[in-house]
């Protein structure tokens, strides 16, 4: 997928959204699971806390006001991470009773931020051996039997280990889910946009002349686009056909009056005015023909083009020009690759190359060279075909090159022609988006380089 394509942008958007959703969901699930583990851990601590409260409030006979054991071996194992502590608060010097696991240490006090309702607090604290503890604490008042603070703590690494194990599991599951979602997204983007790709390829085929309309079945979402595109192509063809009809009608409408003028003037051949009328009538006929041709070409260039093989056109024109200039013994060399094709009308290509070769033969001393090159697309543009015509004549200066491309401008009246040849080439090339460039040929004369759209 190209970086600037719709499919690539959709893939990036879907990928980013998927990753964000999975990250947010994973963080939320991890937080919820940690809270669930903490609540389960706190319930376990509460069981031990209630047992201690019950033992302090109702001690066994002769056992004193603190428990000897609450049935958990970890409270007997030194520095096990599980501790309890009972502190009497109503004496001048607090009496502290500890589980054997505390050894010679005391439990840390919870901060005010850990305060909860009813004198009950819970939170995290740093215990013996710098072990992080989850701790609960409760104050009880037994009246004449005293006031006590009872604390129970457990190793918080159990909470952390459970949470990390869950995070690893959910991370693996989400990674697999992300991969599956991304593959699904790629599949949906590639196959969901395939009808648009087919339309793009079909339009390229129509533009190059390989097809006349969009063919095939399209999904219901794309079918209206295909129908409207085909309707637009048909409407364009109808407009061009009407324009051609109008051009033909205009040609016939002008031909009769011009013929009458010419006939009347020819009948008075000795009259200077009649000679002037004949001269101007010929010019009018040429101009009308040229303008009608331009109108025809302009209408035709708006329609999808056809493909023309350049080699047979160039070869046939070379043979024709050699015959026309046989008395001057002009040799015409042709170098045309087989794959060179012009996107346009064959008669237009013949007129452009024919004018260039004819002009070269008029000025050449003995040699004319025709070279055609096909260039691939560059920078996202269209492919081009270049027609280069060289002669070994006198050539032209830069100032003269600018003049000869103007309509009717001739630098040497001794050569036959009307001075319209190169200007016709410029106009025709412009209608197809091409350009004519004049320069110096390697064999000494003028180089005419014509760049046209290729098929």
User: Is position 54 within any domain?
Assistant: yes
Q: Give the pTM.
A: 0.48
- Checking if the pLDDT of 33 tops 70, the result is yes
What angle in degrees, to the nearest 10, is found between the helix axes of 194-208 and 157-192? 30
User: Is position 62 within any domain?
Assistant: yes
- Secondary structure (H, E, C), 320-357: HHHHHCHHHCCEEEEECCCCCEEECCHHHHHHHHHHHH
The mean pLDDT value for 338-344 works out to: 85
The three-state secondary structure class of 375 is strand
Q: How many domains does the chain have?
A: 3
What separation in angstroms does the CA of 300 have from each of 75, 125, 206, 251, 398?
Answer: 99, 88, 15, 17, 34
Q: How confident is residue 418, by pLDDT bands cut at 50, 70 and 90?
A: very low
- Domain end among 301, 323, 358: 301
Given phi > 0 = left and psi -120 to 50 = alpha, else beta, which region is 79?
left
Query: By the 8 A CB rule, do 74 and 82 touch?
Result: yes
Q: What is the pLDDT of residue 357?
A: 92
User: Is position 85 within any domain?
Assistant: yes
Q: Give pLDDT tens digits for 217-258.
A: 777 777 888 888 888 888 887 887 777 677 767 766 777 787
Q: Pick the residue with more confidence: 86 or 195?
A: 86
Candidate from 95-99, 196-200, 298-302 with smallest mean pLDDT: 298-302
The mean pLDDT value for 41-47 works out to: 92
- Please check whether residues 157 and 30 belong to one and the same domain: yes
- Please check whether residues 297 and 311 belong to one and the same domain: no
Query: By the 8 A CB rule, do 158 and 166 touch?
Result: no
Stated as kind and residue range, the H or E segment containing 386 is strand 384-391
- Please check whether residues 287 and 397 belong to one and the same domain: no
- Domain end among 279, 301, 323: 301
Q: Please report, rounded to a whole number, the percentage of residues in the chain having pLDDT higher than 90.
A: 23
- Checking if the pLDDT of 17 tops 70, the result is yes
Q: Give pLDDT tens digits for 372-402.
A: 998 877 655 678 899 999 999 888 888 787 7
User: Is position 207 within any domain?
Assistant: no
Q: How confident is residue 315, by pLDDT bands cut at 50, 70 and 90?
A: very high
- Checking if the pLDDT of 417 tops 90, the result is no
Q: What is the pLDDT of residue 412?
A: 44
- Secondary structure (H, E, C), 215-270: CCCCCCCCHHHHHHHHHHHHHHHHHHHHHHHHHHHHHHHHHHHHHHHHHHHHHCCC
The mean pLDDT value for 136-157 works out to: 89
Closest CA to 366 of 333, 335, 317, 397: 333
- Please check whether residues 331 and 390 belong to one and the same domain: yes
Q: Which of 31-35, 305-309, 403-407 reaches the highest mean pLDDT?
A: 31-35
Q: What is the pLDDT of residue 6?
A: 66
- Checking if the pLDDT of 84 tops 60, the result is yes
- Checking if the pLDDT of 69 tops 70, the result is no
The mean pLDDT value for 340-359 works out to: 88
- Please check whether residues 420 and 437 belong to one and the same domain: yes
- Domain end among 249, 276, 301: 301
Q: Mean of the per-residue pLDDT values for the chain?
A: 81
Q: What is the pLDDT of residue 31?
A: 94
Residue 130 per-residue DSSP state? G
Q: Give pLDDT tens digits for 108-133.
A: 888 765 556 567 888 999 988 889 99
- Please check whether residues 433 and 318 belong to one and the same domain: yes
- Secondary structure (H, E, C), 413-433: CCCCCCCCHHHHHHHHHHHCC
- Please check whether residues 412 and 297 belong to one and the same domain: no
User: What CATH number should be reported for the domain holding residue 42?
Assistant: 3.30.450
The mean pLDDT value for 191-216 works out to: 76
User: Is position 210 within any domain?
Assistant: no
Strands 384-391 and 367-375: what pairing? antiparallel
Stated as kind and residue range, the H or E segment containing 361 is helix 346-363
The residue segments making up the domain with residue 56 are 7-162
Half-sphere exposure of 429 (CA within 13 A, CB side): 24
């Amino acid at each position: 997928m190209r970086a600037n394509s719709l499919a690539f942008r959709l893939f990036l958007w879907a990928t980013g959204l998927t990753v964000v959703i999975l990250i947010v969901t994973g963080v939320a699930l991890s937080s919820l699971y940690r809270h669930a583990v903490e609540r389960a851990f706190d319930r376990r601590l509460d069981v031990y806390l209630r047992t201690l409260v019950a033992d302090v409030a109702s001690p066994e006979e002769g056992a004193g006001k603190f428990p000897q054991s609450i049935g958990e071996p970890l409270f007997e194992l030194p520095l096990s991470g599980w501790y309890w502590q009972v502190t009497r608060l109503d004496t001048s010097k607090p009496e502290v009773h500890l589980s054997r696991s505390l050894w010679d240490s005391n439990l840390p006090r919870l901060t005010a931020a850990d305060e909860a309702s009813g004198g009950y607090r819970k939170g995290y604290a740093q215990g013996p051996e710098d072990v992080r503890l989850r701790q609960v604490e409760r104050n009880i008042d037994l009246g004449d039997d005293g006031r006590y603070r009872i604390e129970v703590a457990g190793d918080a690494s159990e909470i952390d280990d459970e949470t990390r194990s869950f995070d690893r599991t959910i991370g693996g599951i989400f990674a697999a889910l992300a991969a599956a979602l991304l593959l699904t997204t790629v599949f949906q983007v590639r196959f969901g946009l395939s009808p648009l790709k087919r339309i793009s390829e079909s339009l390229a085929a129509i533009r190059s002349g390989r097809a006349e309309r969009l063919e095939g079945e399209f999904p219901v979402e794309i079918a209206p686009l295909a129908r409207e595109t085909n309707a637009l192509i048909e409407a364009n063809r109808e407009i061009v056909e009407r324009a051609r009809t109008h051009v033909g009608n205009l040609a016939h409408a002008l031909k009769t009056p011009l013929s009458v003028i010419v006939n009347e003037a020819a009948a008075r051949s000795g009259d200077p005015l009649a000679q002037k009328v004949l001269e101007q009538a010929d010019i009018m006929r040429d101009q009308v023909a040229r303008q009608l041709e331009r109108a025809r070409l302009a209408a035709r260039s708006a329609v999808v083009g056809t493909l023309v093989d350049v080699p047979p056109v160039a070869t046939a024109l070379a043979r024709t020009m050699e015959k026309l200039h046989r008395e001057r013994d002009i040799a015409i060399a042709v170098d045309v690759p087989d794959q060179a094709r012009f996107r346009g009308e064959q008669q237009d290509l013949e007129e452009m190359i024919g004018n260039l070769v004819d002009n070269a033969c008029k000025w050449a001393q003995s040699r004319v060279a025709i070279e055609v090159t096909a260039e691939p697309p560059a920078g996202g543009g269209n492919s081009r075909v270049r027609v280069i015509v060289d002669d070994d004549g006198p050539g032209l200066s830069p100032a003269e090159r600018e003049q000869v491309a103007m309509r009717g401008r001739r630098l040497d009246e001794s050569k036959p022609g009307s001075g319209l040849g190169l200007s016709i080439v410029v106009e025709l090339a412009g209608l197809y988006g091409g350009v004519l460039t004049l320069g110096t040929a390697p064999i000494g004369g003028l180089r005419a380089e014509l760049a046209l759209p290729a098929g």
